[in-house]
Structure 1
């Protein structure tokens, strides 16, 4: 499953579930997104975020990434690991399959920085 984030001027960014779910958890737990918005963004339905929302996300990620380890991954529970992803599917603990990479969070931050008119997610 994947999502496409798209600005009104047609720029887009794709993300898979493995990166998106922990990203939403991070944004919700930090208070950047409310629980209802984070939940809606987890479905493949049209959700629009304003330019203010995008800038708030970018500002949070800028601060967050300043302390994130190079090559790090944010797990679904919010913990951070630098262990490389083996891409093994963990049936016994599905949460271990989800991790937002620092690389992805950086791309998402940069996308949000330039999304001054907001973006849609679906």
Structure 2
């Protein structure tokens, strides 16, 4: 499963579920987006975020990324690891399958920073 984030002027960013789910958890747990918005963003439906929302996300990620090593990953529970992802499927602990890489979070930050008119996630 994947999502496409698209600005009104046609720029887009694609993300898979493995990176998107922990990103949403991070944004919700930090209060950057409310629980309802985070839940809606987790479905493959069209959800609009305003330019203010995008800037708030970018600002949060800018500060949060300062504490994550370049090779780091944010796990579903919000913790950070530098342990490489083996891409093995963990049936016994599904949460271990999800992590938002520092690289992805930086790309998402940059996308949000430039999305002054907001974006749609679908």
Query: What TM-score bracket applies, with the shorter chain setting the length?
Result: over 0.9
Q: 2:94 matched to which residue of 1?
A: 94
Q: How big is each residue's C-alpha offset from its partner over 1:54-88, in whole Å with a ceiling of 9 and x where there is no partner?
A: 00000000000011112000000001100000000
Q: 2:104 matched to which residue of 1?
A: 104
User: Is 1:56–2:68 an aligned residue pair?
Assistant: no
Q: Which runs of 5+ in 2 are unaligned?
A: none
Written as runs of structure 1 = structure 2, the 5 A alignment for 1:7-22 is: 7-22=7-22
Q: Report the RMSD for the aligned CA atoms in angstroms.
A: 0.3
SS of alignment partner, residue 83 of structure 1: coil
SS of alignment partner, residue 37 of structure 2: helix
Once the two structures are TM-superposed, the CA of residue 96 in structure 1 deviates from its matched residue by 0.1
Q: 1:5 matched to which residue of 2?
A: 5
